[in-house]
Amino acid sequence: MNESEIAEKRVLPFLINELKWPKDLISPYGRVPVQIGANMVWADFVCYISTGGKRIPWLLVEVKKTGIAEQAVSQAESYSLILGARYFCVIDGNEDNKPQFYATGDTQGQRIGLQSIPSLPLADFLKPINTLPFTSDILNIADLFIKGLKEEPKFLNDTEKHEEKLHRINEGLFRNIDILKSKNIKEIIDKNLMIKLPNKNEVFKHIDNDLDRFKNLLRFLLHFKGDTVANLDRALDKEGLYHIKGGGPFFITQLLAGANMNEYVVLEDNISKSLQSLGITDIMVKSDTAKGYIYVNDICKRIFKEILEQRLRTAGYYFGLAAVHNFLWHYYAHFMEKRTWYP
């Protein structure tokens, strides 16, 4: 088994059945960002407690394929220190090996090995809780976003165009893939996707030289089922079946958002900066990797469903998920400093 299979088949059942940890308070595998200097890494599992209206890391779990080496323990300890988890654990794929538990010390190397599983917190600390801190700040800014759509014609027009372009991508590229010609594809990309030279020339050359490969990428993005991180990694793999020269993460995820408009958002660094500024994420998670993109995208979907959608409908606007892009991007790029949504 690989680490992902070990995580799903051995570790997650252990956390739920043996530790009796509520599933709602266990992070999805590999989805907890950890900032180490200038680098972003991803913790395997974090078991949280709920207190004061927030989820607090309690137990960090590192998954390894075989064996529990000193390096793995030190790695788990460093993640635990950064996240502020009281305990950490290392588990491998060998069921004969018991998970190793540690109490996190004050600094690296001060961990304390435990002979047994740490005691479960009291039930009051294990009640499900909203995973995102939607404070009054973001609720107020969402109201100002609606006000901006009403009072700033250029901003409304920009938001409409953003949604229209995704519709054109969806209808032009994904409705009739089999009959698409190179010329049609390049026209749609040129008018509706954000891609700069020389990357655009490389993509167009690839479409002309290997149209079937590009169509296979479109089919793959349209039927994007299963493990979303693994799928996106496949689409971004430069040695993989779907690689298009010049088509980097931003290009691929724009196509993905066009193919599945209710599931994926066009993301860019200003959106991640906005989430950090609003206190929704503790760190700036870039969206140019599969894990980073899916992490930020999941937050954006919740913002739309829990904050924006009803406000938009009440105001008479019927934008879809694409509205989150303009809300967060323009907030950080313009509104936060200039108090206007469009320059």
pLDDT digits (tens, 9 = 90+) for 282-302: 899 999 999 999 999 999 999
- The helix-helix angle for 199-209 and 182-192 (nearest 10°) equals 160
Rounded to 5 degrees, φ, ψ at 43 are -70, 150
**Res 132: pLDDT:** 66
How many residues in total does the chain contain? 343
Q: Counting Cβ atoms within 10 Å, is residue 18 exposed (0-12), middle (13-18) or buried (19+)?
A: exposed
pLDDT digits (tens, 9 = 90+) for 75-111: 999 999 999 999 999 998 888 889 999 999 999 999 9
**Res 130: pLDDT:** 66
Beta bridge partners of 39: 36
* Secondary structure element (H or E) that encloses residue 28, with its range: none
Beta bridge partners of 264: none
Amino acid identity at 154: K
Query: Helix, strand, or coil here: 26?
Result: strand
Q: Which domains does the chain have, with CATH numbers?
A: 3-125 (3.90.1570), 136-338 (no CATH)
Residue by residue, DSSP assigns 152-193 as -HHHHHHHHHHHHHHHHHHHHHHSSGGG--HHHHHHHHHHHS
Contact 3, 65 (CB under 8 A): yes
* Secondary structure element (H or E) that encloses residue 80, with its range: helix 70-83
Q: How many CB atoms lie within 10 A of CB 314?
A: 9
d(CA 74, CA 80): 10
Give which of 280, 214, 226, 228 is closest to 257, Cα–Cα. Answer: 228
Amino acid identity at 24: D
Query: Helix, strand, or coil here: 193?
Result: coil
**Res 47: pLDDT:** 96
d(CA 281, CA 301): 15
CA distances from 190 to 8, 199, 256 (A): 42, 12, 16
Q: What is the pTM of this model?
A: 0.90
Q: Which residue has the tokens 């109201």?
A: 143
d(CA 296, CA 268): 10
- The per-residue pLDDT string of the chain (343 residues; one tens digit each, 9 = 90 and over) reads 889 999 999 999 999 999 999 999 999 999 999 999 888 999 999 999 998 778 899 999 999 987 777 889 999 999 999 999 999 999 988 888 899 999 999 999 999 999 999 988 988 888 877 666 677 789 999 999 999 999 999 999 999 999 999 999 999 999 999 999 999 999 999 999 999 999 999 999 999 999 999 999 999 999 998 889 999 999 999 999 999 999 999 999 999 999 999 999 999 999 999 999 998 888 999 999 999 999 999 999 999 999 999 999 999 999 999 999 999 999 999 999 999 999 9
pLDDT digits (tens, 9 = 90+) for 184-214: 999 999 999 999 999 999 999 999 999 999 9
Tokens of 91: 């588990």
Q: Which residue has the tokens 């009440």?
A: 314
Average pLDDT, the chain: 93
d(CA 31, CA 299): 12
* Secondary structure element (H or E) that encloses residue 288, with its range: none
Residue 20, CA atoms < 13 Å, CB-side half-sphere? 9
**Res 182: pLDDT:** 96
Query: Helix, strand, or coil here: 128?
Result: coil
Contact 79, 34 (CB under 8 A): yes
**Res 133: pLDDT:** 63
Give which of 26, 157, 23, 147 is closest to 85, Cα–Cα. Answer: 26
**Res 131: pLDDT:** 63
